[in-house]
Amino acid sequence: MLSADLDDILEDVFERVSKSRIFKNRDVLMPDFLPNRLPHREEQIRKVASVLAQALKGYRPNNLFLYGLTGTGKTAVVKLVTKKLSEKARERGVRLKVAFVNTKRDDTPYRVLSKLLENIGFRVPPTGIATAQLYANFKRLLDKRDLLLIIVLDEIDYHVKKHGDDLLYKLTRINEELRNSKVSIIGITNDVNFTSWLDPRVKSSLSEEELVFPPYTAPQLEDILRDRAQMAFEDEALEEGVIPFCAALAARERGDARKALDLLRVAGELAEREGRNKVTTEHVKKAWEQIEKDRVIEVVRSLPLHSKLILLAIAKLTKDGTVTYTGEVYKLYKEFTSDLGIETLTLRRVSDLIGELDMLGLISTQVVSRGKRGMTRVINLESDYKSVIKGLKDDPRVAEIAGLI
């Protein structure tokens, strides 16, 4: 590319973006932004606050269990209330600490415990200590601190499904073994049927108080978006109908507020990039598609090599819109590995990896019987073919063989 061209391009982009007056404060639309108000969650805030308020009197609040789909405000409500609670506690000299652990990110008992220890002020190596030892340390050090500790376990279903409810059982009974400190647990889950995974004792102890977060309706999402848009956008930057449209799309996605906010933000970014001063519903439509494509590319990119090869096999076999089966995929996958001169995973393992691709929403599978031709999975590519290939070809090893297709 000639440098003059480059200058022109940069000039053009900078010009457009800088003259566009769309955002006042884009950050308030980011997923980790914690607003001071949560419209349509007054009831839940009241409930959580009333349970936790016991802490201010020095009592141990009841354990609390929150259910609700993604983007229904569970985490935000808990964060908001615990933040205010911590402030109040400080004012009143109550020794209170809130430990927030996302058990999807920190998904082993070891990591949960090390997060908890970190929260009460102790660093723990990433591996090496026996979990039982770690638990003993936690108990001992916590008791020394003379604290009221509120443990928030976000996305707790991930932990329990992978590692059972052992740790949870211990934590719910830890108070019996503490002399100076006290522990309350707040569990948060997206999975409404989650309690079937729990030992009944854990279940009853954990859900001393329960609270359900219903999905937001379209009008409620509209309120949330308006509230946030006021802070995020310049006046008049949104065309009539943009917010209801975002709300309607997100309401279709099971009332997910995070999705709604993402949509609005990306639509704004698109408008900004075009150098416009107005966000239109057309931008929202494009944003919707782009979010999905970006998600696919990103997910594909971060896949391990063998999963990529399996996905490539599936993409190739379903390119003409047909479905494929585990056996066919395995055959083609084997060709790929021998082309690359790397070892081939067993069918058993590949079967699990196919299951993971399904979980990621890249493909959809269904177990069927083909009679005498046996049981297998019907597989088809759920996501955009081009985006999948784009994500795959970013990996030079995959591009090497994908080029032949």
Partner DNA sequence: CTTCCACAGGAACCAGCGGACC
Partner DNA sequence: GGTCCGCTGGTTCCTGTGGAAG
Annotated binding-site members for ATP: 72-76, 216, 228
Minimal distance in Å, beta carbon 393 to DNA? 21
Q: Min. distance of Cβ 205 from DNA in angstroms? A: 23
Q: For the chain, first and last CA: distance in Å?
A: 29
Q: Which residues contact 34 (CB under 8 A, 6 or more apart)?
A: 76, 79, 80, 83
Choose between 135 and 288: whose C-beta lies nearer to DNA.
Answer: 135
Which parts of this chain interact with DNA (CB under 7 A)?
107-111, 125-132, 304, 306, 325-328, 330, 343-349, 351, 354-355, 367-377
Nearest to 232, CA basis, from 195, 269, 197: 269
Select 240 or 343, whichever has its Cβ closest to DNA. Answer: 343
**Between residues 2 and 367, which has the closer beta carbon with respect to DNA?**
367
* CB nearer to DNA: pick between 248 and 378: 378
In terms of Cα–Cα distance, which of 209, 141, 135, 137 is closest to 173?
135
| Count of Cβ atoms closer than 10 Å to residue 304 Cβ | 10
In sign, the C-alpha dihedral spanning 398, 400, 403, 405 is negative
**Rounded Cα distance, 231 and 279, in Å:** 15
**Nearer of residues 312 and 345 to DNA, judged by Cβ:** 345
Choice between 76 and 363, CB closer to DNA = 363
Residue 323 phi, psi (nearest 5):
-100, 170
Q: How far is the CB of 331 from DNA (least distance, A)?
A: 8
Q: In angstroms, give the least distance from the CB of 299 to DNA.
A: 15
CB of 128 to DNA, least distance (A): 3
Q: How far is the CB of 86 from DNA (least distance, A)?
A: 29
**Which uninterrupted H or E stretch holds 324?**
strand 324-325
Residues tagged in the binding site annotation: 72-76, 216, 228
CB 169, CB 153: distance < 8 Å:
no
> What radius of gyration do the chain's Cα atoms show?
25
DSSP 23-60: BS-GGGGSTT---S--TT-HHHHHHHHHHHGGGGGTPP
CB closer to DNA, 76 vs 317: 317
To the nearest whole angstrom, how small is the minimum distance from the Cβ of residue 151 to DNA?
18
Integer Cα distance of 250 and 322 in angstroms: 30
CA gap 74, 190 in Å, rounded? 9
